Amino acid sequence: MIELYYAEDDPDIARNVKEYLEQKGLKVTIYSTIAQIRQALKIHVPTIVLLDWNMPDGHGDALCQWIRSRWKELPIIFLTVRGDSRDIVAGFHNGADDYVVKPFELEVLYSRIQALLRRTRNVTDQYLSCAGIFIDQNSRTVSCHLEEINLSAAEYELLLYLMLNKGKTVTREKILEQVWDVKGSYVNNNTLTVTMKRLRDKLHQPPCLKTIRSVGYRMEDTL
């Protein structure tokens, strides 16, 4: 499912956009302040972001820069009343992929979202996130609450496998098979236990990485 975060302080516009896009099958979350959407992004990366420019606690251009500095390929669309050519140029300069001026037609907005996602369709799978832990599969980098974490190859592959199966319990046997055996590195249960301990220590003992006693492990989002 396409997940969309929308920063908009006008409740009527926010409601209309949310209702229309959800009828099209998108999952839309509204944030009425920059602080709220920043906090949400520190926990989970959506498929695409819509930004208003004038927000009660700041400006969308600064937020766009902040997002782009952390997720270089996350699709961003400005949706704003500021239609002056200088504002539009500034929006693109600050990292936006598209710019829609209010008033707008909902059908046109949806078409622009679809067009942008067609151009960036691989980004949906590039970023994995769970409760503040992020993986950028293109660069093979990992961060925890925006702090970059240096993992060994085995630790990275273990975390990646758990993130790709987020919400599912995976057995120790399956992990050994997928993380080590398929690469020709036949190891025992103790190797998994040690690698998991090191991974947890580096990620500051994240509550989202759960041990399922006598079975295996599960990554799941936490409130």
Residue 57: its pLDDT value, please? 96
Given a cut of 70, the residues of the chain with pLDDT beneath it are 122-124, 182-186, 223
pTM, full prediction: 0.83
Question: What confidence score (pLDDT) does residue 181 get?
Answer: 80
Retrieve residue 4's tokens. Answer: 């969309």
What pLDDT score was predicted for residue 50?
98
Task: Quote the mean pLDDT of the chain.
Answer: 93
How do residues 105-136 score in pLDDT, each as one tens digit? 999 999 999 999 988 876 667 899 999 999 99
Taking the C-alpha atoms of residue 173 and residue 10, their distance in angstroms, rounded to an integer, is 51
Report the candidate in 108, 117, 115 with the shortest Cα–Cα distance to residue 3. Answer: 117
3-state SS string for the chain = CCEEEEECCCHHHHHHHHHHHHHCCCEEEEECCHHHHHHHHCCCCCCEEEECCEECCEEHHHHHHHHHHHCCCCCEEEEECCCCHHHHHHHHHCCCCEEEECCCCHHHHHHHHHHHHHHCCCHHHHEEEECCEEEECCCCEEEECCEEECCCHHHHHHHHHHHHCCCCCEEHHHHHHHHHHHHCCCCCHHHHHHHHHHHHHHCCCCCCEEEECCCEEEECCCC
pLDDT at residue 126, as a whole number: 87
- Cβ atoms of 37 and 26 within 8 Å: the answer is no
Residue type at 25? G
